[in-house]
Amino acid sequence: MDLSLLAVYAAPLLLIFAWYLRRHIRVDRHSRAVHQEHKEAGLVEPASLHPVIDPVRCLGCGACVKACPEQPEHHVLGIIDGKAQLIGPTDCIGHGACKAACPFDAISLVFGTESRGLDLPVLNASFESNVPGLYIAGELGGMGLIRNALTQGRQAIEAIAKSNRRAPGKRLDVLIVGAGPAGMAAALTAKALNLTYRCVEQESLGGCVYKYPRGKLVMTAPVELPLVGKLFFRQTSKEHLLGVWTEIMKDHQLRIQVDERIENIEQDGDGFVVRSSKAAYRASTVLLSIGRRGTPRKLAVPGEELPKVVYRLIDPDQYIGQDVLVVGGGDSALEAAASIAEVQGTQVTLSYRGDAFGRAKQKNRQRVAQAADRGNLKVVLSSSVSHIHPDLVILEQGGKQLEIPNRAVIVSAGGVLPNEFLTKVGIRVETKYGTA
């Protein structure tokens, strides 16, 4: 073959190869930088469901990286040395799109890690617990993402409808506990399938979403709901989402009762008697769609009983001109601190017992850092609350006591898992250490 002709054919191939090589180096360099940034900040533990990549099966095609719905705001997955890796563990919120997109079946979705276990109730593929007729969907089962919780609520009711546990005329087909995303979807599905049901919520419509700070953005993806059709919210506020759910409840006359706390579930033959703070219900099946942390974790320090101490942020504007202490290191704490710091005249102190915000998303850490740079938010790591007084708070840090002027305290230290309640009704709980 003529050398000039060979050069004509080879030149484009060399250009393509050079472009691919430069792109590969650029992607690898970026992935390493993100991974190193998270390691240095101590952000190495995923909060819930997350991918584990088999390096033998993975061929580094990048399909999982492109499929992640958190892109481009967050970099959860990346390519290092030609293999996919979880480079931003704390930014992963369990979409699961990476597993579906992988053409080589190299990704498994798991809960917990080798060093950090996650307590979850034992469920079968139909969301039924070891107690026959008692089902669990949503956050309590490990699915805190709104879209996943909505889907699970629908699927759980579909499984109940196919079971042989219904007893028409004698009792409810299903009692749904909790009116968050899973509970809302469950109520819609129960009505669509002509099941007799009630949905009982101890607080307000929306469950965990109702507890978000005012104006907080809720990230979801399209989801199909019975009677409603497709809902799509890529970015929306808490208020708008709750407004949509309120309209759905009214339009479809869903049987949802709020401000009613479930106190006990007792087996009654082949069904259940569910006792609440207001009534007793007989049901063939029960679906628990409650949160994992319904009871706030308290500090157990002197002065915590003062009325200025609360356990969630509702409206940042109520703290105008005040000195506020926020306690905690997760997303709720950082969101509360940053939101209040944006209010005119406030001075915020953020106290956390750890030495890094290892459980918080990058965007929340950035908001806190920006507020700290402005001077109206002070971060006190490796600290704990020692005493709460009416007009000040005492923190302990490195053996020293810090006195801070204070008019309000917000404790965002997570919540107590409902393990005692689950054990009481006979549900088995196991700790996941990086398993499905």
What CATH number does the domain located at 119-292+418-432 have?
3.50.50.60
Same fold, 3-110 and 297-414: no
Task: Report the predicted TM-score, pTM, of the whole model to 2 decimal places.
Answer: 0.69
Concatenated DSSP letters for 236-275? EEHHHHHHHHHHHHHHTT--EE-S--EEEEEEETTEEEEE
Predicted pLDDT at 59: 92
> Left if phi > 0, otherwise alpha if psi is -120 to 50, otherwise beta: which for 228?
alpha
Predicted pLDDT at 340: 95
Three-class secondary structure of residue 2 per DSSP: coil
Three-class secondary structure of residue 323 per DSSP: strand
Concatenated DSSP letters for 41-91? TT----SSSEEEE-TTT-----HHHHH-TTTTT---EEEETTEEEES-GGG
Concatenated DSSP letters for 116-172? S-EEEE-B-TTSBBSSTTEEE-SGGGT--SHHHHHHHHHHHHHHHHHSS---TTTSE
Domain ranges in the chain? 3-110, 119-292+418-432, 297-414
Q: Which residues of the chain have pLDDT under 70?
A: 1-11, 17, 19-20, 143-144, 168, 207-221, 233-236, 293-295, 417
What value, to the nearest 5°, has the Cα angle with vertex 29 and ends 28 and 31?
65
Predicted pLDDT at 16: 74
Predicted pLDDT at 9: 65
Domain covering 297-414, topology: FAD/NAD(P)-binding domain (3.50.50)
Backbone angles phi and psi of 421, in degrees to 5: -65, -45
Tell me the per-residue pLDDT of 274-294, one tens digit each, with 9 for 90 and over: 999 999 999 999 999 987 766
What CATH number does the domain located at 3-110 have?
3.30.70.20
For the chain, how far is it from start to end, CA to CA, in angstroms? Answer: 58
Contact 430/119 with Cβ under 8 angstroms? Answer: yes
The encoded tokens of residue 347 equal 């001075």
